[in-house]
Structure 1
């Protein structure tokens, strides 16, 4: 298997089982994630399935998810 790097075409990640949140909407405004053989996680835009994938370690993604759960990014989505 070829080395995986940030920005590589998502379609080049062989055997990836992409999945998206149940909270995604019919307009396709969502991202998809795939667990990688080395334990990392690939992220892609669902509207551009062959486009670039971002590759994260599990620790990096876990830190992001915990930050989101803790409300650390709420200021990016101001409420009216």
Structure 2
């Protein structure tokens, strides 16, 4: 009777090991999918922010350059006049 109980316990251990391996594979696959989704989301966010910031910076720089040129022209007119 003792030998029979030993074999039953051995079978339970093997089943538990297989179940743990299957669960680990599922967790690993879910982590891979989650990481890929996070990478795709991050890439899209960077592209959207880059385009938005680029347009704002160009407009500000052009306005500043125009103001500086007008000031220089006024100074030259005063010296010549």
TM-score (norm 2): 0.19
> Higher RCO, 1 or 2 (CA under 8 Å, sep at least 6)?
1
TM-score (norm 1): 0.20
Higher helix proportion (structure 1 or 2): 2
Higher strand proportion (structure 1 or 2): 1
